[in-house]
Structure 1
Amino acid sequence: MPNKEPSLCDEKVFNDFFRKHYESITRYIYYKCGDLQQAEDIVQNIFVKIWNLCEKIIYSKAKSYIYSACNNLLINQIAHKKVVLKHQKTVTDNSNHESPDFLLEQEEFRIKLKQAINDLNFKEREVFLLSRIEGKTYKEIAEITGLTVKAIERRMSKALKELREKLGNHIKI
């Protein structure tokens, strides 16, 4: 009779899994980002996600899932910070050359763009930021996410469509 794999939906199994992996995954993310609070927040968010998706996650694959999910969330947060910093730099660089009305419109658009990106589905936002901010190719994104290039193309297409709907078709993204 084959051994039945434990279920992460069992509270004791989940708690044991959490205790066993929390410190090591937090250190791993901390080493990547250099911010202990950010690392703890990322790991805790992913453990909550695992608990909510416990029926869909196979116990034997949960460890690799948590490392990948934490890494992806960190990549998304870094990409988001890059977007914010890039737009802050643009506003600062242009502040000496542009009229106050233009600067106000630019800031309003920056806020609207940031909100539109934040409103994207997690999957589409991840692909959009990896492509447009990190400059990764669809093939590289496929390797990072474990998806096919076609799946990445579909997600990117959907992200661009949603952004155009929110920002207007005349915007080049």
Structure 2
Amino acid sequence: MKNLNDEELMILVSNGNLDMMSVLFDRYHIKIFNFLFKMTRDKEVSQDITQEVFYKAIKYRASYKKGKFSSWIYTIARNIFTDYYQRQKNKDERFDTIEYKIEQKEPDQMDIKETNEELKRALNQLSNVDRELVIMNRYQGIKYQEIAEITGSTAGAVKTKVHRAIHKLKDHYLQNI
């Protein structure tokens, strides 16, 4: 069964074979967690939301329309994150500053560390929408077409938005140095 692609597995899940969700979970839980962790910078919140993503994937398995599974699961993750963010915003506990950790190959290189700190600050200055696009495209490596499916947009519009977000990131970065 592990030789089946994501879409075939999800069709089996949507038809009631819930055991196949474990294969999809193994394939996607780290990707979903990393996406959420880049958005929240809170390990526990990211773990909780990741768990909720897969719970909702099982609960709403009948809504799967045989499209690209990764787009469907990222859409669920994005929606749950948005709901979480709105609840936090309503409590006046906002994500004003989010820490981004970029791994260093050699920790003794001060220039790299300073550059990473400046990049973190610049990324924090972006709007949530722009930050989300940059994270999905540049950090997660998700293609424009898939981001378009996730966000309910077109690939051309996403490409333009990512391009603009990168320019904003560059402008913020250059202002900080």
Larger Rg: 1
- In the superposition, the TM-score normalised over structure 1's length comes to 0.45
The TM-score normalised by the length of structure 2 is: 0.44
